[in-house]
Amino acid sequence: MTAKEIFDIWYRHDGLEPSVRAELERIKDDPSAIEDCFGTELAFGTAGLRGVLGAGPGRMNVYTVSRASAGYAAYIASKGADARRRGVVIAHDNRRMSREFALTTAGVFAAHGVHAWLFASLRPTPELSFAVRYLGAAGGVMITASHNPPEYNGYKIYNSEGCQCGLDETARVIDCISEVGDPLDIPSLGIDEAAGLIGILDGSIDEEYYRAVESISLRRVDAGDLRVVYSPQHGTGNVPVRRVLADLGYDVVPVEAQCTPDPDFSATKSPNPESPLAYEAALELADKVNADIVITTDPDCDRLGVAARGGDGKLKLMTGNQSGAVLIEYILSAHRSMGTMPEKPVMVNTIVTSDLGDRICESYDVKVEKTLTGFKFIGERIARHLAAHDANYVFGYEESYGCLIGTFVRDKDATQASLMLCEAAAYYKAQGKTLIDVLNGLYARFGFYLDTQSNFFFRGADGQKKIAALTAGLRREHPAEVAGARLVRLEDYLSDETQAEGFPKSDVLRFVFSDGCWVAVRPSGTEPKCKFYYCVRAAGEAEASEKLAALKAAFEPKD
């Protein structure tokens, strides 16, 4: 059917959800908008659903959410009566329609005979992962679009390990979704008519989660001597992060204007900790109250951004690679000094994460394992080692500001990261050091690392084709030498070689040079863009900047 024919079916449907009906009225005389919303379906990918709110199968709305829920419910139900009884845990963030989508999800699962455990209000993504494991549920659903702009929302699925579903499991769920019929006519039950199949989770789960997070603390520090400015970016981190840090005695000064849950993110220029705009209010407040560090969590509280004072007393933003490296150094040095390093320790990060963390681990005789981008791969690696009893996980992180310390959660956890980062800052402050001092000490030991990325957006119907053509072109033709450094290895993650090493097939390229620098290129899994990652190793910042400029000139598209 054409986009207009599908639009007409939706338009004639009685009882449409009011916001969808309003959207249909708005676009009914706009052929391009109809094509955009109804010409293609919003794809359920390896990260679930994520898209702009609106009407039609190409947008996030109660009907696309119902269809995804019906498919996932059918998958859970296919596992038998025990899986249906254990059910799924459902949580949501602060975004537009998040509560409505969570209620819709619960109603569809109940209509399929699958028990749904629904949080009473917004909760962070890591607590959803924790609750799945704590309750012994068969799966979970998180309604969130993370740090995306306000007009977005999303739908992520979790398995019984509390980990985002892996590639094989997601493929089976997608098969089930494809068998769902008319998305406008999917059965759903309200809480009152669900006959006990929808349960509302009380605060006891919160308390268990807070207790588990506080258990990761490695040593006693003078927490009251560390002043921390914190912003939850209008999201889910406000309660858990402030509660945990208060329990441990830290002096936390919140950015009050950014603490209220707000789907429009009204008091922040960006809710994304990767953007300097996210820190403006917090940095201003930190200077007023003479804070030692600034921390901010993204709206679903799975990623942590950090600013710390340098030798000049000024606050400096830290990248995810830098804060991850400092956390590795703190955690491993603490284990070594206290004699608590586990046998066969392993740190897990991704193929686009800086090599600095790897060098630190090598100095502590900690094995490093690599995965593709996506924390579900780190979660899978944790589960594999725990099942085989062949290694002990000590830390995992990505360059995009997400990390995990305690394995009672199997996804990025900014509540845990906040605690450990503050503990590290307090510990080093007692030694007369800031986190920037620690980072500079790591550069002195292992060389200077400049890690950054560039994003190239390709929007529209042919955007994905352009991205595929870009990576295919680099696969065929690429520089053999840049700034005097030879290309010594091309890692193609569509190749038989990388699959033989255990990596799933993925359209990712990684170019490694003789001077230790590398460039990685991959399409984004959640947005219409291609990402170029750079890890530049040099004697100092000036040399690193020159190398980075040369690599960008050699690899990035010219138009």
Give the residue numbers marked as catalytic.
146
**Contact between 492 and 509 (Cβ < 8 Å):** yes
**Contact between 228 and 250 (Cβ < 8 Å):** yes
Report residue 312: phi and psi, to 5°. -90, 5
Query: What is the rounded CA–CA span in Å between residue 261 and residue 235?
Result: 5
Query: What is the rounded CA–CA span in Å between residue 153 and residue 92?
Result: 10
β 403-404/251-254 pair status:
unpaired
Helix (H, G, I), strand (E, B) or coil at 428: helix
β 392-397/345-350 pair status:
parallel
Maximum distance among all alpha carbons in the chain?
71
**Contact between 117 and 135 (Cβ < 8 Å):** yes
**Count of residues making up the chain:** 559
**Two tokens, residue 257:** 């204007």
**Contact between 344 and 320 (Cβ < 8 Å):** no
Locus of tokens 């960008």: 552
β 448-457/529-538 pair status:
antiparallel
Helix (H, G, I), strand (E, B) or coil at 193: helix
The continuous run of DSSP H or E covering 315 comes out as: strand 315-318
Return all residues near 420 (Cβ < 8 A) that are at least 6 apart.
Answer: 216, 217, 218, 327, 330, 331, 405
Asked whether the CA dihedral 410, 411, 417, 418 is positive or negative, the reply is: negative
**Contact between 20 and 55 (Cβ < 8 Å):** yes
**Contact between 141 and 156 (Cβ < 8 Å):** yes
HEC secondary structure over 483-533: CCEEEEEEEECCCHHHHHCCCCCCCCEEEEECCCCEEEEEECCCCCEEEEE
**Two tokens, residue 210:** 């807070």
**Contact between 300 and 144 (Cβ < 8 Å):** yes
**Contact between 467 and 523 (Cβ < 8 Å):** yes
Query: What is the rounded CA–CA span in Å between residue 514 and residue 151?
Result: 44
Query: What is the rounded CA–CA span in Å between residue 479 and residue 552?
Result: 11
**Contact between 243 and 445 (Cβ < 8 Å):** no
Distance from CA of residue 221 to its chain's centroid? Answer: 29
